[in-house]
Structure 1
C-alpha cells in the first residue's frame, strides 16, 4: 500500500470510520497471523489468544502510527505485536518463549525479523492477487471460447516466438480499431491486423488463443500480478 493511500486511510480511521478499519484488518490479516506465529514460534490460528493480542496491537498501530517516526507501518505493527506478545507470555509465566530486554541489538533483531515477516506477507498477498486475477481472466476468456487451462498447450514452444507475440499483442492493444472489433466480435480481427501491420495471417491464426489472451491482459493493466506472471513465463 502506497504511503499517501495509507495516510488517507489512517486519517479516515482516526475520524471514526469503522468500515475503513475493518478493511485494513481484512487486508492485513495474513500479516497479523504471520507475525503472531513468528513471534510465538508456533502455528497460530485466527482464533488463538496470540492472534487476539496481535489484532489489538494492530489496532493500536492504526491509531498511533506516525510516518515521521522513522519506521514503516508494517515495521511499526511488528514492533507492537512483538512487545505485546512478550508482555502476554510474561504475565502468563511463559517466559521460556522469550528472553527480552530493550537494547539496540534487540531493536536490530526485531527490524530484521520484521523485514522477513513483511517479505513473507507480500509474497502471500501477491499469490492471492494472482489467483484472483487468473479467475477474472478465465471469466473474460470464456467470452472468447478460451479456457485458461488450455493456454499452456497453445503457448508457443520457442521463446523468440513468444516474445514476438508479446510485441504484437502490445501493438494491437494500443490500436482502438482492432481492439473495438476484438471486444465486440469476440474474435481476433486477423484480416484487419494483416492489412494494417503486414503480419502473416497464418501466424496470427496459429497462435490465435494465446494472442487473444495477451491482448486481453494488456487491456486490463489492473492485473499487475498476472501480467508479471505471464511475462515471466513467456521469457523462460
Structure 2
C-alpha cells in the first residue's frame, strides 16, 4: 500500500470497519477489551496495510479477505472452544468430528484455490504460465528431489532471492557457486526452479508448500 504518514491514526480511523467485519463474520457483538477475535482482526488489518498493492483491487475488500481468513484459522486452531464456525454469510453447526473435518477440508480448499490464483499471477510476473510448468516439470523423482534441494538452498539466500524478484531472472552464475551445480542444469530447469523458489520464499503459499515432498540433502 502507498506509504501512510501515520499508521496508528489510519488504524484508529478504521476501527469501526475492523469491528464491523469481525462482528459480521462471528455473527455476534464483540468487545475490544475481551474478545480475541477483534485482536486477530486488528492484526490482519495491519498485515493488509503491509502487503496491499493496487493489483489486489480495492484495499478494504482485500483487508476484509485477510480478516476473514485470519479468523477462520483462529476458529480452526481453537476448535475445542467453538461449537459454531462461520464463513461467508452461512452459519455451520459443527456437531461431530466428521462434519468438522469436512468443514476444514472445504475451508482449506477455498484458501488453496485463492493461493493457486495468486501463485498463477506471480508466475506471470516472470513470464511463466501454468502450461509452461507442465512442460518444464521433471518426470523422475530423483530429479525432483535434487531440484527441490537446490531451490531450498536458494530460498535461504536473501541476496539471490532479492535479485531474482528484482530482475525476474535467475542469477545462474551465483546459483552455480552456491549449489555447485552446472549452468546447463540450472538453465534446463529454469522455470521449474523459479516456481519452487517463489513457493518456498513466500509465506503466503503455505498450502501449496505443504504439497512439496521435501527431502533434505546430505
Q: So what's the TM-score if we normalise by structure 1?
A: 0.54
Residue 24 of structure 1 is matched in structure 2 by 26
CA distance in 2, matches of 1:198, 1:172: 12
Structure 2 alignment gaps of length 5 or more: 1-14, 28-78, 86-92
Task: Pick the structure with more helix per residue.
Answer: 1
Residue 81 of structure 2 is matched in structure 1 by 72
**Alignment RMSD (CA, Å):** 2.8
Q: What is the number of residues matched between the two proteins?
A: 141
**Which of 119, 133, 142 is equivalent to 1:137?**
119
CA distance in 1, matches of 2:185, 2:26: 48
Counterparts of 1:170-209 in structure 2, within 5 Å, are 170-209=152-191
Residue 213 of structure 1 is matched in structure 2 by 195
Residue 118 of structure 1 is matched in structure 2 by 100
Bigger radius of gyration among the two: 1
User: Which portions of structure 1, spanning 4 or more consecutive aligned residues, are displaced by more than 6 angstroms?
Assistant: none
Change (3 A) 1:233 1:192: closer
Q: So what's the TM-score if we normalise by structure 2?
A: 0.58
Per-residue deviation, residues 183-215 of structure 1 (Å, max 9, x unmatched): 111011111111233111111111110100000
